[in-house]
Structure 1
Amino acid sequence: MDNTTLTHPYFGAFVMFALTIIAFQATFFLQRLISRKLAQKRGDKLKNAPYECGPIPIKQANKISHQFYIIAVLFVLFDVEIIFMIPWALEYRHLGLLGFFEMLVFIGLLAVGFLFAWKRGALVWQSIK
């Protein structure tokens, strides 16, 4: 082995990477060995049940409204769309008039989507029946 290999700038990083892989494998092997030796191997009916403790699972009496899901999806949708406007605002001067009209079309589409959700009642928290 020549001296240039040991003086390479990334040789220390390679050694640390190799030691990390070896330490991970050794820890994983020891953990599996110890857990298999210490674990109780009982196969009774209670152990094989879906829930090991607590009450017997029954159907939930009060159902969660789908409004939570719709509001969350709309929030994420409009939040991500606003994030798309940040690079445009930073590069506004370089985009010129074409970039301005493209953003107007984008904001128009967001407004149409917002009005559609509003008209469909997705933003009404409690529906009056």
Structure 2
Amino acid sequence: MSTELILASVIFVSIAFILVAVFMLSRFVGPKNKNSKIKNSVYESGVTNPVGNTNIRFSVKFYLVAISFLLFDVEIIFMFPWAVNVAELGYYGLIKMFIFMGLLFAGLIYIYKKKALLWD
């Protein structure tokens, strides 16, 4: 058996032991709350007695806006490193960023034409 394998095994077993010990310690040391009527009651946004049916369907536009936000938010992850290295990339990097921004702009136009941003 190699020393790397023995070291990896010892580290794995040590981490597993530490995790089990932490969970057991938190179970014994942590606060113990008995089930009570107040603890098990419904509480939503400051309202203790909800009114109406909770099985209502949401509009798909909520999800479209959320996905659109994520799409355009993730673009910043790609733009920041480009902005830091723009001098090193030169015109080639500038052209690639214009293509990237053009594709994102085309996506924004598509979302606008599908009227996903309108709240009727």
Alignment TM-score, normalising by the size of structure 1: 0.54
Residue 123 of structure 1 corresponds to which residue in structure 2? Answer: 117
Residue 96 of structure 2 corresponds to which residue in structure 1? Answer: 102
Is 1:82 aligned to residue 76 of structure 2?
yes
Take 2:57 and 2:107, find their aligned partners in 1: how far apart are those partners? 28
Runs of 4+ in 1 over 2 A off after TM superposition: 14-29
Take 1:59 and 1:79, find their aligned partners in 2: how far apart are those partners? 31
Larger Rg: 1
Instruction: Give identity over the alignment, percent.
Output: 39
| Residue identity opposite 2:16 in structure 1 | I
Give 1:1-129 correspondences, 5 Å limit: 21-22=16-17, 24-25=19-20, 60=55, 62-126=56-120
**Structure 1 residues without counterparts, runs of 5 or longer:** 1-10, 30-52
What does the per-residue CA deviation read over 1:54-78, in whole Å, with 9 as the maximum and x for residues that have no partner? 9xxx882x32111110000000001
Please state how far the C-alpha of 1:79 moved relative to its aligned partner: 0.3
Please state how far the C-alpha of 1:17 moved relative to its aligned partner: 7.2
**Structure 2 residues without counterparts, runs of 5 or longer:** 1-6, 25-40, 43-52
Task: Provide the aligned length of Structure 1 versus Structure 2.
Answer: 87
Please state how far the C-alpha of 1:18 moved relative to its aligned partner: 5.2
Take 1:98 and 1:18, find their aligned partners in 2: how far apart are those partners? 50
Please state how far the C-alpha of 1:81 moved relative to its aligned partner: 1.1
Please state how far the C-alpha of 1:21 moved relative to its aligned partner: 3.5
Take 2:118 and 2:107, find their aligned partners in 1: how far apart are those partners? 15
Change (3 A) 1:23 1:96: closer
Change (3 A) 1:72 1:16: same
